[in-house]
A = this chain, B = another copy of it.
Amino acid sequence: MIGQANSIERRSGVALWRQIADQILHSIAVGDFPENAALPPEIALAGRYGVNRHTVRSAIAALVQEGVLRAEQGRGTFVLSRKRLSYPIGARTRFSEGLQGQASERHITLLASSIEPANRRVAEGLGLATGADVIRLETRGEADGMPVSRAAGWFDARRFAGIDAAMAETGSITASLARFGIDDYLRQSTVLSARHADAADLADLELQPGAIVLVTVAVNVTPDGQPIQFSESRFPAERIELKLSAL
């Protein structure tokens, strides 16, 4: 939306075809290449980016592989539709409710759970002593079969013993907390950043190398301000945008 940026950096450590693929993705996101329409011909793109046609072809091949484009010999290359879901973050941030209306099917899978000593960051978030036992739940959120989040949540092991089993059974943080008498909880703080997906993200979220994840670090508290959950969540930026609401 700001300045258009059809320039390419050579010997930057990022191959030209990868940079061009990213630019095409950006152009699609911004609406310069509308969905379901044909891309400019390869020759034209090569001219626009100042590279050889074969280099453009490499970029297109990667995006075809990623499911963003479809190439048809003799006809052209077309933009497939890929809407980003909008995930609301506010005082009452709940996974399933948040995506209601945007995806017909949505659920959380418990990937792993463990008991571990709290590191400094987790301990501060939960108001515990560093080294105190905490339960860690690793979860993945999916919407219509597509992974849209990967989260680690930490809970005081003394107060929430067995929350891992509850989570496995109910598939819901909210329902699991209810078993411990938590009928309501609020989001106290959220810190947001972004970075490249690491190898674990790539695998769990089914992303391609170079993908970007949004990272939120949050603390949930009871209505009277007692911290109950510290969490770090990652959202693939190509599938999710975060909509901040009253919190």
Contact = CB atoms under 8 A, between A and B. Distances in A.
Given A62-B13, A244-B244, A199 B138 contact: no
Contact of A200 (B2, B29, B86, B202): B2
A13 B210 contact: yes
A192 B244 contact: yes
Contacts of A208: 12
A52 interface: no
A62 B14 CA distance: 13
Interface residues of A, number: 59
A18 interface: yes
B138 A2 contact: yes
A68 interface: no
Nearest to A212: B194
A191 B1 contact: no
B13 A13 contact: no
B9 A13 contact: no
Interface string A30-55: 00000000000000000000000000
B244 A199 contact: no
Contact of A244 (B89, B202, B213): B89
B196 A212 contact: yes
B232 A1 contact: yes
B210 A12 contact: yes
Nearest to A238: B195
A96 to B, nearest CB: 20
A51 B14 CA distance: 18
Given A121-B1, A192-B192, A14 B17 contact: no
B2 A191 contact: no
Interface stretch (A19-27, A75-83, A166-174): A19-27
Nearest to A16: B13
Contacts of A62: 13
Contact of A15 (B13, B192, B237): B13
A64 interface: no
A241 B200 contact: no
